[in-house]
Structure formats: structure tokens, C-alpha cells
Amino acid sequence: MPRRARTAAGWTCAAAIALGAATAAAQSLTIVAPAAPGGGWDQTARALQHAFTTADPASPIQVENVPGAAGTIGLARFVSAERGRPDALLVTGLVMVSGIVATRSVVSLGDVTPIARLTGEDEVIVVPASSPHRTLQDLITAFRREPRRVSWGGGSAGGTDDLLARLLAEAVGVAPADVNYVAFSGGGEALAALLGGQVTAGVSGLGEFAQSLAAGQLRALAVASPERVAGLDAPTLREAGVALDLANWRAVVAPPGLSDAEAARLADRVRRVVQSATWRETLARTGWTDLHLDGPPFRQFLLAEQARVEAVLRRLDANRAPATSSWTPTSATLPRLAIAVTLALLAWHAWQRRRGDDSRDEPSVPQAGHVRVAAIVGAALFHAVAQPILGFVPTATTVFVAGAFALGSVRPRRDIAVGLAVTATVAMVFAYGLGVPLPMPGAAWRR
């Protein structure tokens, strides 16, 4: 019987997805994950969505992915587009705090309304099972002797893993700029490099390494949390003699411009969900630690973390210098080279054309062609700029009509009718079929 009930529930959900969920504005919620599907923030957003939906199946909960630049692109969009909305949440965390500094973002976490810290992930320092380093002390001794010979693999540059490796260096008396940190796109790829013996040690969230640790492929040397982690035979950094702890926390924030009452109501909704059985199951499954904290204490925590991260990054920036033994390309080498070669080729190409010995070029564009090209480009740019104000349908119809005109249509009225039909269909499919609404008229001015 439970199986049949589950099956029925599955059908219902599928039907809701396919046909479009009914909108009950009162309890709706949009959760913005400022990252691509699959990452930690996306998982947090979808786990929240799951917990909210289980608690109250009637209210529509949407997840939007706005990936890019350590979450700062999502943050910037959240601050400007969702201002004053009491039913929107943005997933954030320690990585965004350092991302804001690293990308010199103009918006920061000071521009949003803090709601609650949710979870933490313990950071762990590991070596491959075949490594000669048995304890953290072994690794640190080797590190002190020849810092550059010890390579640290972890997630993206400037992220939590990078931060921990450099804080550790500082704590044991090695210049942070001397850390040979090799950034991979996420702890998963770093895991492969560790198992393949390409890097000396790995720094990442425990979740990334847990399975390989359990299988005995990796050895944990220390955890960066204040207390030992249950089920893991590894000391804390403090026990191993390094005065340092760091956890990769994740939180949710609301748009700017909320009243205190609205913020409190959102915090209440989040608190109820965090206490639900569904959320507990999620924590157990993912290995995330429950770090729920809201109200003024969360506000203070956020300020303290910002100050700590900014101070560390500023110290690192001050003495960032390549310390390798021979000349190696830097991040600026290839861009300079590529631009130089492109310009040289362009000049050569122009010179060839000037000589006029190249008959294979296409004939020059007729005057009317320029007008048609301009029509398309103009309409596309108008669509890009005006879409948030006028909504998707009218501006996309402009693009359609301009395209039809440019391809030789002489019946603009029919083009407009067809364009409206096409764009309205696309908008309906996105909004009701997928729950990913395209911009509606006046979206930019919504309170």
C-alpha cells in the first residue's frame, strides 16, 4: 500500500510539473541558488525546497540558478531584482564572503537582509593512503623545510579550501604566498588528483572525501572544526598543535528593503523547516552539521566572518608573488599572447585584402543589407535592455518581427500576430511547464 501511495504521489508531482503548479501567492517562495546545478549552494537550495514542500505541499517553492563568479553575480541580481520582496531567499556562505573580496564586487552581504545560518561542512586535511606523511606533524615538518615541494589540492582559488591552506601556513610560520596551492574546480576533481598522487595533500569539505576515507584510499590528518568529528579517526587542528579552526558554513539571506516584521516572518518560516524531520534526514544524508542561527546573533556572526576573511585576504594579497624556481606562465601570459597574435593576424589579413589578390571574399553588403542587419541587432539590444521593464513577450515579439522583416517579409501585421503567438507560447511553457518564469511586464519596478 505505501508503494502505491508513493506512486500516486509521484504521478501527482509529475503532473504538477508538466501542467504547471497552481499558484497560491500567500505562501510562495523563490530560493535563488547563486551557482550552477549540482554544487553545494544548489544542493542546499533544493534540499530547502524539498523540506518546504514536504511541510506544506500547497505552497509553490521555486529554485532559480544564477551561477557565476563565486556567487557574486547571483548576489548582484538578487539585490537589484528582488528588492523588497518578502518571499525570496538567497543561499550564501563563506565562499561568497571571500568571493566578494576577490572579485571586488560592488554589492556585498551588507546589502541584504540576514535571515539565518543553516549548515556547516567540516574541512579536513588528507593525504593519499600511500603517502609517507603519517601525521599532521610529518606534513608540517616537510612543509616547513621546503614549502614549494608540498602541493595542496583543493577547490577554487580564494575559496574555503584555499583560505584554510594559507591560514595553516601562516599558523605554522610559512609565508602564505609560498603555499603551492593547486586549484581544481571543486573538491571532487582534487580528489582524483590526490588518488593519482599528483598533489601531496588535499584540503576540502569532509563530504567530498568521506567515501574515499571510508574505503581506506585516503588518510585524514586533521579536521579544521573546533571538535572532533564522530566516526573519523583524526585530531582537530588545535589538538595537533595548530591554533586554527574554519568551517564552510552556508546560510540564507533575504532581499534588501524588508521591514523587521517581514524579516522575522521569513526567519520563522525557515526555523520551522529547519526543525522538520525532512531537514534532519537531509543533514544525516549529506553529512552537513546543523549550525542554525538567526536573529541578532546571526547578524553579528556575519559581520565577524566578513572582517576575518577580509583581513586574511588582504594579508595574502600584500605578499602575493610567484615563488617558483624557474620562469612559468602567469594568469596574464596567455591573454597577452592571444591578443598580440590576433591583432597580428588581423593586420596581415587586412594587408592581403588591400593587395586585392583574394577573390574568394564575398561581395560587399548592399545598402539594404546594412539596414536589415541593423534592424536585427537593434531589436536584439532593445530586447536585452527593455525586457525587465516591458516583459518578455512584447520585446521578444520585436525581435521576431525584426528577424522576419530582415529575411524579406512584407506583411508586418501578420508578423506581429505570429510573433505574439510564438513568444506567448514560449513564456507559458517556461512559466507553467518549468516553473522558470520569463520576465513579466514591470518586473524591474516590482515593489
Stretch that binds another protein, among 112-120, 129-137, 298-306, 358-366 (CB under 8 A): 358-366
Site map 259..288 versus another protein, x via CB under 8 A:
--------------------------xx--
Residue 23 lies near another protein (rule: CB under 8 A): no
Q: Which of 101, 93, 80 is nearest to 120 (CA)?
A: 93
Nearest distance from C-beta of residue 249 to another protein, angstroms? 19
Instruction: Tell me the three cell numbers of residue 57.
Output: 505541499
Q: Does the protein bind another protein through residue 361 (CB under 8 A)?
A: yes
Q: How far is the CB of 379 from another protein (least distance, A)?
A: 8
Residues 6+ apart with CB under 8 A from 96: 34, 70, 71, 72, 75, 109
Q: Is residue 446 a contact point for another protein (CB under 8 A)?
A: no
Distance, in Å, from the CA atom of 201 to the CA atom of 153, rounded to the nearest integer, reads: 6
C-alpha cell at 8: 500516486
Q: Which is nearer to another protein, 24 or 214 (CB)?
A: 214
d(CA 31, CA 118): 14
- Using rule CB under 8 A, residue 58 touches another protein: no
Span of 137-145, 149-157, 248-256, 296-304 interacting with another protein by CB under 8 A: 149-157
SS3 assignment, position 112: coil
- DSSP helix/strand/coil, 430: helix
Q: What's the min distance (Å) between Cβ of 293 and another protein? A: 24
Touching another protein, residues 293-312 (CB under 8 A): none
The separation between CA 447 and the C-alpha centre of its own chain, rounded to angstroms, equals 26
Report how far residue 113's alpha carbon sits from residue 255's, in angstroms, rounded to the nearest whole number.
Answer: 6
Q: Please tell me whether residue 310 adopts helix, strand or coil conformation.
A: helix
Looking at residues 228 to 257 of the shown chain, list those that interact with another protein (rule: CB under 8 A).
Answer: none
Task: Give me the count of residues in the chain.
Answer: 447
Binding-site size for another protein (CB under 8 A) equals 137
Candidate list 36, 58, 304, 311; residue touching another protein; CB under 8 A: 36
Closer residue to another protein in complex, CB, 72/236:
72
∠200-177-334 over CA atoms, to 5°? 85
For helices 40-55 and 260-274, give the axis angle rounded to 10 degrees.
90
Residue 238 Cβ vs another protein, minimum distance, rounded to whole Å: 28
* Binding status of residue 192 toward another protein by CB under 8 A: yes
3-class SS of residue 293: strand
Applying CB under 8 A, which of residues 142, 174, 283, 380 lies at the interface with another protein?
380
- Could you tell me the sign of the dihedral formed by the alpha carbons of 63, 89, 68, 181, in that order? negative
372 touches another protein by CB under 8 A? yes
- Interatomic CA distance for residues 196 and 358, integer angstroms: 52
> Binding of another protein at residue 291 (CB under 8 A)?
no
Q: Does 423 bind another protein (CB under 8 A)?
A: yes
Residues 62-121 that bind another protein (CB under 8 A): 63-70, 72-73, 76-77, 102-106
Choose, by CB under 8 A, the member of 92, 154, 387, 390 that binds another protein.
Answer: 387
Q: Which of 226, 381, 442, 446 binds another protein (CB under 8 A)?
A: 381
Residue 297 vs 369, nearer CB to another protein: 369
